[in-house]
């Protein structure tokens, strides 16, 4: 059985040295490069399967790079305040629910909430991180599961809602940047992460709440 490995990180595919490796310098999470672009995906597959003709182990580079500029961000409208008594993040999450449901339908449920927190319970999950940001010890805040998995469900809830509010394939990380830098809940997650670090929570508990370079 022959294998062809696509690789997103050059040093990793070089160091693991698969029998046939194609380094595709695309953003992490997009090994075929461009969502919604069958012609591009076929080019990647053609380059990968061409390596099957090699009579010996082979490493190759795909001839096109997809570079993440680091600053592209979705421009999604955020819901206006509805419940002035609610925390802005909770009000925001509730206001995005209709968009989230449309996003789930569009994406066939591939990437929404629900790993450990169902969509209905996302506001309550956000409340636990609000409590941490406001000073409650993280272990007493009522996080409904492992913090990184709960955080992932919250981020996925927002990014799925965003998917329904744009009419194109989002650039890599554009939805994540929107969530972390533009939304009230993103601010809560960043603040809770800092608070957990200051509370000397175990490193994996706070570190994986956001992408690692934050």
Binding to other proteins (CB under 8 A) within 39-78 occurs at 41-42, 45, 48-49, 52, 55-57, 67-71, 73
Contact predicate 179/186, CB 8 Å: yes
Nearest distance from residue 54's CB to other proteins, in Å?
9
Residues 3-42 that bind other proteins (CB under 8 A): 3-12, 15-20, 27-36, 38, 41-42
Q: How many residues bind other proteins (CB under 8 A)?
A: 82
Long-range contacts of 174-177, Cβ-Cβ distance < 8 Å, separation of 24 or more? 174/72, 174/73, 174/74, 175/74, 176/211, 177/71, 177/72, 177/73, 177/74
Minimum CB distance to other proteins, residue 83 (Å)? 26
Binding to other proteins by CB under 8 A, coded x per residue (else -) over 109-148, reads: xxx---x------------------------------x-x
Closest approach, Cβ 82 to other proteins, in A, equals 26
Residue pointed to by tokens 């927190």: 117
Task: Retrieve residue 51's tokens.
Answer: 């390596």
Q: What stretch of H or E contains 188?
A: helix 184-198
Q: Does 79 bind other proteins (CB under 8 A)?
A: no
Q: What is the DSSP letter of 173?
A: T
CB count in 10 Å sphere of residue 34: 17
183 part of the interface to other proteins, by CB under 8 A: no
Site for other proteins (CB under 8 A): which residue of 90, 117, 125, 163?
A: 163
């Amino acid at each position: 059985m022959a294998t062809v490995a696509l690789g997103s990180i050059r040093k990793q595919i070089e160091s693991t040295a698969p029998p046939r490796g194609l380094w595709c310098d695309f953003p992490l999470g997009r090994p075929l490069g461009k969502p919604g672009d069958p012609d591009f995906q076929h080019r990647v597959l053609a380059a990968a399967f061409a390596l099957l003709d090699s009579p010996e182990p082979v490493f190759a580079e795909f001839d096109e790079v997809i570079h993440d500029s680091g600053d592209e961000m979705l421009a999604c409208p955020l819901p206006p305040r509805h419940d002035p008594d609610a925390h802005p993040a909770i009000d925001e999450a509730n206001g995005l629910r209709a968009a989230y449901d449309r996003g789930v339908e569009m994406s066939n449920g591939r990437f929404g909430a629900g790993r450990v927190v169902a969509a209905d319970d996302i506001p309550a999950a956000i409340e636990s991180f609000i409590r941490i940001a406001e000073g409650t010890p993280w272990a007493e805040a009522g996080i409904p599961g492992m913090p990184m998995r709960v955080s992932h469900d919250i981020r996925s809830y927002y990014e799925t809602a965003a998917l329904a509010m744009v009419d194109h394939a989002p650039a890599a990380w554009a939805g994540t940047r929107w969530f972390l830098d533009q939304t009230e809940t993103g601010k809560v997650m960043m603040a809770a992460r800092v608070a957990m670090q200051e509370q000397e929570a175990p490193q994996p508990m706070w570190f994986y709440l956001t992408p690692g370079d934050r």
